[in-house]
């Protein structure tokens, strides 16, 4: 895939299509000042790892000023850096370094809600007649004093919080300290777009939009209907959370969102090559919303849903249903696939912990091949390239309010947020020299460190590096069209086509070796460099357990 350096005179406005985006959780990537918390200067120190991996862009989770009740996803100043992460000058230097390494920089924009300490909310809650009185979602109590409706917070309990000054309830889809902005107010939209422009002017190449379908609520505040038990999807919230008991028809995913996304896209289009990916959090309508938000070329460039972030393993049938369903609904849309992120149990634990001895790493390599071969862009979460398992933390080590609330049935998100292991023998695996890190580095993670895997051709890390290099050598894998083939229930097979190149990808999801007959008359030949061991014998593919074969189709 063609990338654009900082000094290139050619601007690739389409860089995001097929891009591999590496997510950095800044608290846990690299600590540069030994306070136990990662920071922007630490990210700069480790950008070479991402460039060597072969990613096209970095996505940096929030580093804005925040009281850190939700670790940066509760913003109190959209246009400044929280001191724990550094300064605006540190961010400028990070962008410059990334661009020198030909890495695009995307940052997290949390537009649906702010911290309750944001000056906008402080003014809004001060009374009923101030200039920002309707910048948030306020509503009167019912006659009996209870909340206006039955809407629930993702973090548990009612989505409404009583404010004693205004003597009204305000809406919060997340923590009570994260009040929801009122997107029905045009001035709110304008103010948020101004903050987006601020970062574009500082040189960022794009954005990841947090909870992109949560911006608007129904003005009528109707009760959400109950959701039948057999339709509850734990990908949006854990089963112990009553949030899944409702069909969220009115508190999110409203049609008015499309017009705001058009405004957002128009702003991005006024810059040379800015792009955005949206996170769609809706267990019932994820693929449908992805299609709606990315079709037409006037809204989001790409979106990802929670379909591959759930516990459900990605069987061939499931992958075909999700990816095929997206392109059937939005032939001109563009997805961004992710198997792990900062909100869910790492997929190495979800999908490979049950593998027999010796097959865990092979399973992870196969899954990486699937993710990096599907039509669409890709988000990789830090540590995913190491095959990191979920950390098992003690209750006293938890920091995530979500996990503390629902412990022990749900342990929260700290297990996927522990510090990145760089050096097996260094204190805290090379993340920090501090005696205490914000989250502990599990001892088991030391054996997965970059220093341990780098240079080992059989490691998960070297497989990612090898496959990303292979992907760049074959543009069809980045930007080509995709067509599925049915080669049996245990096999995922599809072709990727771009220009004169057609690449055939075949993955064995079975725990046993299998032989697969290709369709008669198909003229195929193997491609080298991807790292899988499948063997073509005539028209038959022989695949070991959790192995793959990738070749070219002659026309």
Residue 139 near residue 168, CB atoms below 8 Å? yes
**Residue 1: band (very low, low, confident or very high) from pLDDT cuts 50, 70, 90:** very low
- What's the pLDDT at 120? 98
Element (H, E) at 92: helix 88-100
Q: Residue 305 pLDDT > 90, yes or no?
A: no
For the chain, domains (ranges, CATH) are: 20-112+186-217+252-471 (3.20.20.80), 480-553 (2.60.40.1180)
Alpha-carbon torsion angle 68, 411, 108, 205, nearest 10: 140
Angstrom CA distances, 202 to 80, 93, 98, 198, stand at: 12, 10, 13, 7
384 is annotated as an active-site residue? no
Mean pLDDT in residue range 386-405 = 97
Q: How far apart are CA 344 and CA 390, in angstroms?
A: 9
Q: Is 256 a catalytic residue?
A: no
pLDDT band, very low/low/confident/very high, at 96 (cuts 50, 70, 90): very high
**pLDDT surpasses 70 at 225:** yes
Three-class SS of residue 269? helix
SS3 string of 80-91?
EECCCCCCHHHH
Query: Would the pLDDT of 6 be above 70?
Result: no
Dist. CA 22–CA 5, nearest whole Å: 18
Residue 508 has pLDDT above 70, yes or no: yes
pLDDT at 418 over 70: yes
Query: H or E element: which one contains 145?
Result: none
516 and 496 in contact (C-beta within 8 Å)? no
The tokens 């992460």 sit on which residue?
85
What is the predicted pLDDT for the residue at 9? 58
Q: Residue 236 has what pLDDT? A: 73
- Looking at residue 8, its pLDDT comes to 47
How many residues are recorded in the chain? Answer: 555
C-beta separation of 303 from 288 below 8 A: no
Is the pLDDT confidence value at 2 over 90? no
Residue 5 confidence (pLDDT): 40
Closest to 211 in 3D by CA, of 158, 271, 254: 254
| Cα(480)–Cα(52) distance, integer angstroms | 24
Predicted local distance difference test score (pLDDT) of residue 232: 85
Predicted local distance difference test score (pLDDT) of residue 318 = 96
d(CA 66, CA 528): 48
Question: pLDDT at position 128, please?
Answer: 97
pLDDT of 10: 81
Which pLDDT value is given to residue 235?
66
Annotated catalytic residue: which of 31, 82, 279, 307? 279
Quote the pLDDT of residue 356. 85
- Residue-averaged pLDDT of the chain: 95
Is pLDDT above 80 for 233? Answer: no
List the one residue out of 460, 463, 386 whose CA is nearest residue 423.
Answer: 386
Asked if residue 61 lies in contact with residue 108, where contact means CB atoms within 8 angstroms, the answer is: yes
Per-residue model confidence (pLDDT) at position 286: 87
The reply to whether omega before 408 is within 30° of 0 (cis) is yes
Q: Residue range 330-336: average pLDDT?
A: 95
Q: Which of 499, 494, 490 is nearest to 551 (CA)?
A: 494
Q: How many CB atoms lie within 10 A of CB 79?
A: 14
Quote the CA–CA distance of 223 and 228 in Å, as a whole number: 16
Q: Which residues contact 443 (CB under 8 A, 6 or more apart)?
A: none
Categorize the per-residue pLDDT at 75 as very low, low, confident or very high, splitting at 50, 70 and 90.
very high
Mean pLDDT, range 66-86, rounded to an integer:
98
Q: What's the farthest any 2 CA atoms get from each other in the chain? A: 78
What gap in Å lies between CA 174 and CA 75, rounded to an integer?
13
Do residues 252 and 217 touch, judged by C-beta distance below 8 A? Answer: yes
| Backbone angles phi and psi of 46, in degrees to 5 | -110, 10
Does residue 421 have a pLDDT over 70? yes
Check pLDDT > 70 for residue 346. Answer: yes
Decide: helix, strand or coil at residue 64: strand
Between helices 40-53 and 460-473, what is the axis angle to 10°? 70
In terms of Cα–Cα distance, which of 217, 153, 162, 229 is closest to 185?
Answer: 217
Convert the pLDDT of each residue in 162-215 to its tens digit.
999 999 999 999 999 999 999 999 999 999 999 999 999 999 999 999 999 999
Exactly one of 39, 82, 180, 210 is catalytic; which is it? 210
How confident is the model at residue 420, as a pLDDT? 98
Spatial contact of 487 and 493, defined as CB atoms under 8 Å apart: yes
Whether the pLDDT of residue 7 is over 70: the answer is no
User: Six-digit token pair at 103?
Assistant: 């890495």
Tell me the pairing of strands 535-537 and 540-543: antiparallel
Structure tokens at 160: 């409404």
Which DSSP symbol is given to 397?
G
Lowest average pLDDT, out of 4-8, 21-25, 529-533, goes to: 4-8
């Amino acid at each position: 895939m063609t990338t654009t350096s900082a000094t290139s005179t050619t601007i690739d406005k389409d860089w995001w299509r097929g891009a591999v985006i590496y997510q950095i959780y800044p608290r846990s990537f690299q600590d540069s000042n030994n306070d136990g918390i990662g920071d922007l200067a630490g990210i700069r120190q480790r950008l070479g790892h991402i460039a060597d991996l072969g990613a096209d862009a970095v996505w940096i989770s929030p580093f804005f000023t925040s009281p850190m009740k939700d670790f940066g996803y509760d913003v109190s100043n959209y246009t400044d850096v929280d001191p724990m992460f550094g300064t605006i000058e540190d961010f400028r230097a990070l962008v410059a370094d990334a661009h020198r390494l030909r890495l695009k920089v995307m940052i997290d924009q949390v537009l649906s809600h702010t911290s309750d300490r944001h000056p906008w909310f402080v003014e809004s809650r001060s009374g009923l007649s101030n200039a920002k009185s309707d910048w948030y979602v306020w509503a009167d109590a019912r006659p009996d004093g209870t909340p206006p409706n039955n809407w629930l917070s993702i973090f548990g309990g009612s989505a409404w919080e009583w404010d004693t000054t205004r003597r009204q309830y305000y809406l919060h889809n997340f923590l009570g300290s994260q009040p929801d902005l009122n997107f029905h107010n045009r001035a709110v939209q304008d103010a948020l777009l101004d903050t987006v422009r601020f970062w574009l002017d500082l040189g960022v190449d794009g954005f990841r939009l947090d909870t992109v379908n949560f911006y608007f609520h129904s003005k009528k505040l109707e009760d959400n209907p109950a959701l039948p038990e057999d339709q509850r999807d734990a990908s949006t919230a854990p089963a112990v959370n009553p949030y899944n008991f409702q069909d969220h028809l009115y508190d999110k995913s409203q049609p008015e969102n499309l017009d705001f996304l058009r405004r957002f896209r128009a702003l991005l289009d006024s810059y040379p090559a800015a792009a955005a990916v949206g996170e769609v959090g809706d267990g019932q309508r994820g693929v449908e919303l992805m299609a709606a938000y990315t079709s037409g070329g006037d809204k989001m460039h790409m979106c990802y849903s929670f379909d591959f972030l759930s516990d459900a393993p990605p069987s061939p049938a499931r992958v075909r249903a999700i990816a095929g369903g997206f392109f059937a609904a939005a032939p001109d849309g563009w997805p961004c696939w992710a198997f792990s992120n900062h909100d869910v149990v790492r997929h190495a634990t979800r999908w490979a912990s049950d593998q027999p001895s010796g097959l865990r790493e092979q399973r992870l390599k196969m899954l990486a091949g699937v993710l990096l071969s599907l039509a669409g862009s890709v988000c990789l979460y830090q540590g995913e390239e190491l095959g990191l398992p979920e950390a098992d933390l003690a209750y006293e080590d938890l920091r995530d309010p979500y996990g503390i609330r629902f412990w022990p049935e749900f342990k929260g998100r700290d297990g996927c947020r522990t510090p990145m292991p760089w050096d097996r023998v260094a204190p805290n695996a090379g993340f920090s020299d501090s005696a205490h890190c914000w989250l502990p580095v599990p001892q088991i993670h030391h054996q997965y460190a970059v220093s341990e895997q780098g240079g080992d051709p059989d490691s998960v890390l070297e497989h990612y590096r090898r496959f990303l290099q292979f992907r760049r050598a074959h543009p069809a894998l980045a930007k080509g069209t995709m067509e599925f083939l049915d080669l049996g229930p245990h096999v995922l097979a599809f072709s990727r086509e771009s220009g004169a190149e057609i690449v055939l990808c075949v993955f064995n999801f079975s725990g046993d070796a299998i032989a697969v007959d290709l369709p008669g008359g198909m003229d195929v030949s193997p491609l080298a460099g991807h790292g899988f061991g499948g063997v073509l014998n005539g028209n038959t593919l022989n695949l070991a357990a959790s192995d793959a074969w990738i070749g070219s189709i002659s026309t």
